[in-house]
Amino acid sequence: MFSFIVSFVASALFTLLIIKQVRLHKSALDSDFHGVQKVHSHSVARIGGLAIFVAVLLSAFVSIWRLPVMTSWMLSLLLCSGIAFAGGIIEDFTGKVSPVGRLLLTMGGALLAYFLIDARIDRIDLPFSSWAIPFIWLSLPITVLAVAGIANAINIIDGFNGLASVVSICMFLSLAYVGLQVNDSFILVSALLVAGAVTGFLIWNYPVGLIFLGDGGAYFIGFMLGELTLLLVMRNPEVSTWYAVLLLIYPAFETLFSAYRRAFIQGKSPVMPDGIHLHSLIFRRIVQWTVGRKEARALMRRNSMTSPYLWLFSLTAVIPATLLWRHTCLLIFCSFLFMASYVWLYFRIIRFKSPRWMIMNKKK
């Protein structure tokens, strides 16, 4: 808990400093109000990831001072995550790093972690056995693509105030809990560090959106989620690999389903952004901003009212993953149940048949 508190305080203070400096110098502002995924109506600092990264660095050195045994692991992880963070934060400041460039840098960080800290997928658990992956030519690409995919997935769900932040915090706390259960102090401390930093950012991001995560924050958080989940499962064979699947299934399945929908249903490029992700549909068809007032305050309120739907939905995966972390059969069942629920809910909303419990009364 000490790690969480230090990281939280540092992040909250750094985020406030960034907000004030950006407003003073009018730099690194998100002023694009017309993109397919844009739902804000005023210029906002989009470099919240910088505060999170700096807070994690600071609190990591405090943790190393308190627990020197984790020095090598922590420094190596921070180095690898810094590569993923670099592509995103440069994009936030300059707008000149392509999605492919950011993805390649994230893959580079995962590749370095594969060799530096042995962060690799070397087994897949089955209901009554485990399938080992002994070949580097198979393990390496699977690992790199999995970590980069999760980082990209967090960036995709980062569409509303507090959405990616709260979902990520819940996942990091789950990692910390399971790390505690298996006596993995490195995972416990690292997960609490990032959870604290994201929480410190969150108090300025939700509900009023004074600052955004930006690509730097989303890629950094996603990379840390992917690496810590991978390390927890592979360092501790008693933790089922399906724990990782279920824990990360909301952002991962959102990404895969969106790519499938664009490529095979709409006939478009699977990497192009669009405005009909599940969170976008909830915003437009359940929160109903399009039929109400559209001034800044009303739009901000509807933005903040969208995220809790997805917080609760993601918890239907995070909670069972946390409770059933060693039970492969139950984790597999919950994973398929979540995917079926996602598809059912998506098509209900897109056909204007949203479940009644989700419908909100229109407020003028």
Residue 19 parent element (H or E): helix 2-25
| DSSP structural state of residue 356 | G
pLDDT score of 352: 77
Please give the pLDDT value at position 40.
Answer: 45
Task: Report the Cα 225 to chain-centroid distance in Å.
Answer: 7
pTM over the 0.85 mark: yes
Sorting pLDDT into bands at 50, 70 and 90, what band is 36? very low
Residue 179 near residue 185, CB atoms below 8 Å: yes
- Confidence label for 29 from pLDDT (cuts 50, 70 and 90): low
Pairing mode of beta strands 29-30, 123-126: unpaired
Alpha carbon distance 89, 182 (integer Å): 35
Geometric angle at alpha carbon 156, from 58 and 305, rounded to 5°: 90
Asked whether 127 and 336 are in contact (CB, 8 A), the reply is no
Burial class (CB in 10 A: 0-12, 13-18, 19+), 223: buried
Token pair listed for 237: 């064979």
Average per-residue pLDDT for the chain: 87
Q: What are phi and psi of 186, to 5 degrees?
A: -65, -45
* Beta strands at 123-126 and 129-132: parallel, antiparallel or unpaired: antiparallel
Number of Cβ within a 10 Å radius of residue 150: 27
Per residue in 171-186, pLDDT tens? 999 999 999 999 999 9
Contact present, 310 and 158 (Cβ < 8 Å): no
Q: Is the pLDDT of residue 150 over 50?
A: yes
Instruction: Give the 3-state secondary structure of residue 289.
Output: helix
Size (the chain), residues = 364
How far, in Å, CA of 358 to CA of 251, rounded?
Answer: 21
pLDDT band per the 50, 70, 90 thresholds, residue 292: low
User: Can you tell me the mean pLDDT for 316-338?
Assistant: 97
Residues 241-283: tens digit of each pLDDT = 999 999 999 999 999 998 888 777 776 666 666 667 888 888 8
Query: Are residues 21 and 35 in contact, defined by beta-carbon separation less than 8 angstroms?
Result: no
Higher pLDDT, 290 or 85: 85
Planar angle of CA 302, 305, 306, nearest 5 degrees? 95
